[in-house]
A and B are shown apart, each in its own frame.
Chain A
Amino acid sequence: DTEVTQTPKHLVMGMTNKKSLKCEQHMGHRAMYWYKQKAKKPPELMFVYSYEKLSINESVPSRFSPECPNSSLLNLHLHALQPEDSALYLCASSLGQGDQPQHFGDGTRLSIL
């Protein structure tokens, strides 16, 4: 079990659907991340929130919309996704200062029909 909890574990959605991915941590971490990972590839950074403010957006298409309601929660809102968006979506958190590592959640396996 990881200390970063992601829901749902699996999600199948059509290209016209709207859905959200949720991530929660209670480690007091102040930096939270969304990554996208395709098979046999490393995690690809999408967004970073630092102290609840968006600090990095890696030129992600607007059909992905992140939200950080508080220091423990991170959401990723999905709308009008494409089949190529099918991937494992990973949430991670880190202390937000110093040299501490990231800790990953178990991920959400997303399939776009």
Chain B
Amino acid sequence: QKEVEQNSGPLSVPEGAIASLNCTYSDRVSQSFFWYRQYSGKSPELIMSIYSNGDKEDGRFTAQLNKASQYVSLLIRDSQPSDSATYLCAVKGNNFNKFYFGSGTKLNVKP
């Protein structure tokens, strides 16, 4: 079983819609969760961090964490074509500064 799992997609949504990206993780003691956006040929860019159960909003982005279900999600409201990218879910392990990445979900926002 992988540490972090994501649906690889592609997830296609029309411009202006809400995109919902999901991630599950296996280690119950994980405390830190991150979403990165990666455009093709570029490096990952941190867009959200979440540490507590519930929702965290930053502009058009909302991260949701449910530790009991070992589930973290990212909602993108009013999706724009510029949001088209691969979104990586990352979970920080308890030891040795190790981060576990999911395989990424490719998002296509169609004009």
Contact = CB atoms under 8 A, between A and B. Distances in A.
Contacts, number: 59
* Residue of B31, B92, B97, B102 contacting most chain A CB atoms (<10 Å): B97
Interface string A50-94: 100001100000000000000000000000000000001010001
A111 interface: no
Interface in B60-111: 88, 90, 92, 96-99, 101-104
Interface residues of B, number: 23
B43 A105 contact: yes
Contact of A43 (B31, B92, B101): B101
Interface residues of A, number: 24
Contacts of A101: 32, 34, 46, 49, 90, 92
A106 B43 contact: yes
Interface string B43-59: 11110010100000000
